[in-house]
Amino acid sequence: MQSPEQAPAADQPFALVGTFDTPAALVHACEALRDQGYEKFDAHTPFPVHGLDRAMGMKASKVAWITLGAGLMGGLGGFALQMWTQGVDYPQNISGKPFFAFQAYVPVTFEATILCAALGTFLGMWALNRLPELFHPVHQAKHFPKVSDDKFLVSIEASDQKFERRKTAELLAGLGAKDVEEVAP
Amino acid sequence: MSAAPERLVEDPSTRPPLVLGNTDFHDVTEKVAGIVESKAPKLWVLLLMMALSLALVLAGSILDLVGKGIGEWGLNHPVGWAWDITGFVFWIGIGHAGTLISAILFLFRQKWRTSINRAAEAMTIFAVVSALLYPTIHVGRLWFLYWFFPVPNQMGVWPNFRSPLLWDFVAVSTYGTVSALFWFTGLVPDLATLRDRATSKVKQVVYGVLALGWRGSQRHWQNYEKAYLLLAGLSTPLVLSVHTIVSFDFAVSVIPGWHTTIFPPYFVAGAIFSGFAMVQTLMILARKAFGLQNLLTERHMENMNKVMLGTGSLVGYAYGMEFFIAWYSGNPYEAFAFINRAFGPYAWAYWTMISCNVLFPQLFWFKKVRTSVAASFVLSIIVNIGMWFERFVIIVTSLHRDFLPSSWAYFTPTIVDVSTFVGTFGLFFTLFLLFLRYLPMIAMAEIKQVMPQASAHPAGHHAAHAAGEHGQGGSHAIA
């Protein structure tokens, strides 16, 4: 995670973590960090807090492109499968129905589109999030178990260009964070 | 909001809160995770034993069927489909309400759905499992089931993609898969809560692996929310397509009573109708058993009753329109099929269906009935019975008197028919009871999101942001 040019000290932490009690305080802190030029920081919340992505200066999610690609592949693949199996590879005369009866292939083409788009969305979303990742340094934070309950954490990674061990900790505390601590990599 | 101490208010501008009784985030976690963490209630153990016994009856019935063949069912010459397909359509229809609640109401920003969507989605998946059992076993020779799949087999023959039965198989298995993905996606943040609260090593490892290492990161939430929205958007046309395709099993044939264009919308309305009835039955029981009156309020029940009133009336309209078209088309076979349906040997089933699905739900016009727990419970069961009869009436009455009077017959179920159907309830309830115990039955992360405290912009602070593209935060959170 650490950029090579920074060559951190051996005891360099992975990140600084501070705790907030309310979504409003968290959003406020994230806006301040964004405005100070921090980039490698994250918020950890029990539920998605609206407006936080902009407070953190994040770009829009790319998941929808994966959905589109997977859906198109599924639809085209499903249609091609039916045309080829029914019309080319082994045509069977069943009740005199035409072999290239595209109308009859609509339901399965539709279902294949949805199936592939949904699988793509599901797998693509986890891949973009780099999950599963059963251990992450932030898991060690003292208040981390409360993140999935009612606490709001901010973590600032030591690899951020603006990161300065003491100054960043003071900034975080100044923004109202409680129990500012360092987590080991 | 302060002017609304009662749980139901007429004025739509002051909607009653979704979460009652000064609940904060931690209370929600305690309440929902507490159900999973506390000792199993005696009632739950008893119910699980009963459900498991019924599931064993199902296992026995299937073994009997596979061992001896589908002659074990009461099928006869014109009636080649009866309780098996009735059971299939019944269960798949029940599943649809779960998707409606979790996906369609999500897209319409109906925030009241958050309390019930998790359990409704679970119901969908278990109903699809019960439904898929029927096409699986009614092929008779289970070992040839792979003929359904487009795999090149030793004969080089492919499945017939021009057959509605194959469309149906593809639609239902897609539906099961997508519902499971959607459900699991929604579960991950709540599984992380259970992981973080785990008191034993086993729980920590199991919930930990299932939670995928979720750390509530905003950079994850952003992709997660987008994916959730997309899955909801994909599930919505999917759920409509599934029951449309189920209705094609009938509508694409040339049997009078089946061959009608009204079937797709009529089946979809019936599916939502029956599914909401099942959600209502289950939720009233769970609310009572686990003391969730603050999270599952009378408002939820009233909303579901309104949906039942609407879809039940649509179904009633379809019953009437079928008769009208049978007369208006001038087709004597069509006319015979419908007169026979209402006044023939199965008149008892037809009028059971009419009273359960069309007459009784009209009671929901009365607010007293809509908001009464007892009345909602009884009516939801009546609707479930009625919707089973609807499928039975459509399937069996259309078949039992075919074009040649010499081949007319009356269908009577055998013990195996009955035990298979009763057994699917065992399977369904076993899975549902296990879900109630081991997974969070209410979506905690979503509930917290609709609580007033979740607003990042309280009382005018940062008002400019609240009006931005994510303008649904703030004071609108509970509307």
pLDDT tens series, chain B, 479 aa: 333 344 444 444 445 555 666 678 888 888 888 888 888 888 889 999 999 999 999 999 999 999 998 889 999 889 989 999 999 999 999 988 888 888 888 888 887 788 788 888 999 999 999 999 998 898 888 888 888 888 887 888 899 999 999 999 999 999 999 999 999 999 999 999 999 999 899 999 999 999 999 999 999 999 999 999 999 999 999 999 999 999 999 999 989 999 999 999 999 999 999 999 998 998 888 888 777 777 788 888 898 999 999 999 999 999 999 999 999 999 999 999 999 999 999 999 999 999 999 999 999 999 999 999 999 999 999 999 999 999 999 999 999 998 888 989 999 999 999 999 999 999 999 999 999 889 998 888 988 888 878 776 654 444 444 344 343 333 333 33
Token digits of residue B412: 């009577």
Contact at CB, A24 and B457, closer than 8 angstroms: yes
Shortest alpha-carbon distance between residue B403 and chain A (Å): 20
Q: Cβ distance A172 to A42 under 8 Å? A: no
Does the beta carbon of B475 lie under 8 angstroms from any beta carbon of chain A?
no
What SS3 state is found at B361?
helix
Q: Which amino acid is at B427?
A: L
Q: Cβ distance A179 to A143 under 8 Å? A: yes
- Chain A 149-168, CB below 8 Å of chain B: which residues? 149-150, 153
Phi, psi of B40 (to 5 degrees): -60, 130
Continuous segment of H or E residues that includes residue A43: strand A41-44
Q: Which amino acid is at B395?
A: I
Q: Which amino acid is at A144?
A: F
Shortest alpha-carbon distance between residue A8 and chain B (Å): 25
Instruction: Please report the beta strands in A36-170, taking only residues with DSSP state E, as ranges in sequence order.
Output: 41-44, 152-157
Does the beta carbon of A50 lie under 8 angstroms from any beta carbon of chain B?
yes
- Give the per-residue pLDDT at B300: 85
Phi, psi of B16 (to 5 degrees): -65, 150
What SS3 state is found at A46?
coil
Phi, psi of B92 (to 5 degrees): -65, -35
Does the beta carbon of A3 lie under 8 angstroms from any beta carbon of chain B?
no
Q: How many residues does chain A have?
A: 185
Q: Cβ distance B182 to B231 under 8 Å? A: yes
- Give the per-residue pLDDT at B459: 46
Shortest alpha-carbon distance between residue A82 and chain B (Å): 6
What SS3 state is found at B304?
helix
Nearest residue to B78 (alpha-carbon basis) of B390, B416, B397, B421? B397
Q: Cβ distance B62 to B87 under 8 Å? A: no
Shortest alpha-carbon distance between residue B233 and chain A (Å): 10
Q: pTM for the complete prediction?
A: 0.87
- Chain A 114-143, CB below 8 Å of chain B: which residues? 114-115, 117-119, 121-122, 124-126, 128-129, 131-136, 138-139
Largest Cα–Cα separation, chain B: 81
Phi, psi of A183 (to 5 degrees): -115, 140
Phi, psi of B255 (to 5 degrees): -80, 130
Contact at CB, A58 and B224, closer than 8 angstroms: no
Which of A50, A125, A153 comes nearest B456 by C-beta?
A50
- The span from the CA of A56 to the CA of A36, in Å, is 11
Residue of B201 and A162 predicted with greater confidence: B201
Does the beta carbon of B177 lie under 8 angstroms from any beta carbon of chain A?
yes
Contact at CB, B177 and A111, closer than 8 angstroms: no
Shortest alpha-carbon distance between residue B165 and chain A (Å): 11
Contact at CB, A125 and B185, closer than 8 angstroms: yes
Nearest residue to B431 (alpha-carbon basis) of B89, B177, B119? B119
Q: How many of the other CB atoms lie within 10 Å of CB of B400?
A: 21
Shortest alpha-carbon distance between residue B153 and chain A (Å): 12
Which of B185, B230, B448 comes nearest A67 by C-beta?
B230
Handedness of CA B335, B336, B337, B340 (dihedral sign): positive
Nearest CA in chain A to B29: A149
Residues above pLDDT 70, as percent of chain A: 95
- The span from the CA of B122 to the CA of A61, in Å, is 28
Token digits of residue A159: 């690899």
- The span from the CA of A35 to the CA of B363, in Å, is 59
- Give the per-residue pLDDT at B473: 37
Interface mutation target, options B151, B184, B219, B231, chain A, most CBs of A under 10 Å: B219
Shortest alpha-carbon distance between residue A68 and chain B (Å): 10
Which of A48, A55, A121 comes nearest B221 by C-beta?
A48
Does the beta carbon of B466 lie under 8 angstroms from any beta carbon of chain A?
yes
Q: Cβ distance B318 to B262 under 8 Å? A: yes
Which of B189, B453, B456 comes nearest A27 by C-beta?
B456
What SS3 state is found at A141?
coil
Does the beta carbon of B154 lie under 8 angstroms from any beta carbon of chain A?
no
Which of B158, B212, B465 comes nearest A86 by C-beta?
B158
Nearest residue to A44 (alpha-carbon basis) of A173, A149, A153? A153
Q: What is the DSSP string of B392-451?
A: HIIIIIHHHS-SSGGG-------HHHHHHHHHHHHHHHHHHHHHHHHS-SS-HHHHHHTS
